[in-house]
Amino acid sequence: ENQSVRTDVVIIGAGPVGLFAVFELGLLDMKAHLVDILDKPGGQCAELYPEKPIYDIPAWPVITGQDLTDRLMEQIAPFKPTFHLGQMAEALERTDDGFWRLTTDIGTVIEAKVVVIAAGGGSFVPKKPSIPGLEAFEGTSVFYAVREMEKFRGKKIVIAGGGDSALDWTINLQPLAKSMHLVHRRDDFRAAPDSVNKMRALVADNKMALDIAAITGLEGENGILRAVHMNSAERGDYVVEADTLLAFYGLTMKLGPIADFGLHLHENLVPVDTEKFETSTPGIFAIGDINYYPGKLKLILSGFHEGALMAQAAFRYVFPDKKLRFQYTTSSSALQDKLGVR
Ligand code: FAD
């Protein structure tokens, strides 16, 4: 993806708060693009607790993290937001004609009048296994995500981990791979039982190997992997031939590149006012878990409110010459037209 687009608002983070901001912006005629390093919308709700019930969303006595995400997606659909998923918002600069230019780690360029930071607890980044010399192979032979399956055709693959990602990719890549090993410390998997059964069936058919072992080292040079060294109680030290290591040890959240956007920070949070939720830089707003102000509560419902007030202020940047009229969705036919419900 190598595109450059101009829009009204770019939102960093497609968590629940970034998603609802699309709605509030949309009611005021502002178009939004969203960037998220995750490959799906929903932020913490979708990534950390999709099946857990939430009990404090107004008017939803109980709703799971994934259901809340799905409902928000349905609610914002009339405004046709553009998603740039699986990419990190990396650099922010000002253009000569008064736009903000946001560049992602894979080269997407979005220019917008307003930037909304809805980055929550920070960007989700992979936890790395502690294997000596690992860094030397990253990006060439060692990966923490699969963006394109074809890249792994004919490879001698070792997958490390015991959760859903490790099991799903083992099953999906096994047919393409020249050889496949799944390595996990215990013979106990925190993944869907169906996936575990499929994996065990592949092992029984000799289509792949399961190593209940620890990875102790990597062998190869110039970033090109040749073998993975392992140790198990049964076999002691042994070597598995491999040119690819995929490690799925879960995700952790880090503030990431936003720290370098030149904004004032307060303990890795972005201070804002409580009238507009604007940062120290005019035209850049921060809403949801990432912001800080006296009395802040890291709750989804607070983030929704912050999005509504942010949109009122963003309007003045996007449409400096237009008058803003307060309207109810219940009684405004103009708003209902935008929502496509009339
Ligand atoms: P997030 O959900 O954190 O989403 C931020 C997104 O921004 C992430 O997807 C991240 O990948 C992305 N991002 C950040 N930086 C970048 C970057 N530079 N480039 C690209 N993408 C980036 N809240 C409640 O109100 N009620 C509850 O009952 C409740 N229960 C919870 C239970 C658990 C187990 C957890 C972990 C949290 C719970 N919360 C609850 C908190 C709630 O999930 C958060 O308040 C909410 O997710 C914040 O939403 P957000 O959109 O601000 O940020």
Ligand 1 atom with the shortest distance to the CA of 122? 14
ipTM of the complex as predicted: 0.99
Ligand 1 atom with the shortest distance to the CA of 56? 26
The DSSP symbol for 31 reads -
Nearest CA to ligand 1 atom 39: 299
240 lines ligand 1 (CB under 6 A): no
- The C-alpha angle 281, 13, 297, rounded to 5 degrees, equals 75
User: By three-state DSSP, how is residue 33 classified?
Assistant: strand
d(CA 38, CA 58): 26
pLDDT for res 148: 87
Nearest CA to ligand 1 atom 32: 49
Task: Please tell me the distance between residue 337's alpha carbon and the centre of ligand 1 in angstroms.
Answer: 31
Dihedral sign (CA 306, 312, 316, 319): positive
Which residues lie across from 215 on neighbouring strands?
A: 230
Q: Looking up tokens 């259901």, which residue turns up?
A: 67
122 lines ligand 1 (CB under 6 A): yes
Q: Say how many C-beta atoms besides its own lie within 10 A of residue 334's C-beta.
A: 11
d(CA 226, CA 137): 11
d(CA 317, CA 303): 21
Ligand 1 atom with the shortest distance to the CA of 121? 3
Give the alpha-carbon dihedral of 105, 106, 107, 113, to 10 degrees. Answer: -60
Amino acid identity, position 258: I
pLDDT for res 1: 45
Q: Which of 315, 255, 301, 302 is nearest to 274 (CA)?
A: 302
pLDDT lower than 50: segments of the chain:
1
Rg (CA), the chain: 23
d(CA 20, CA 146): 29
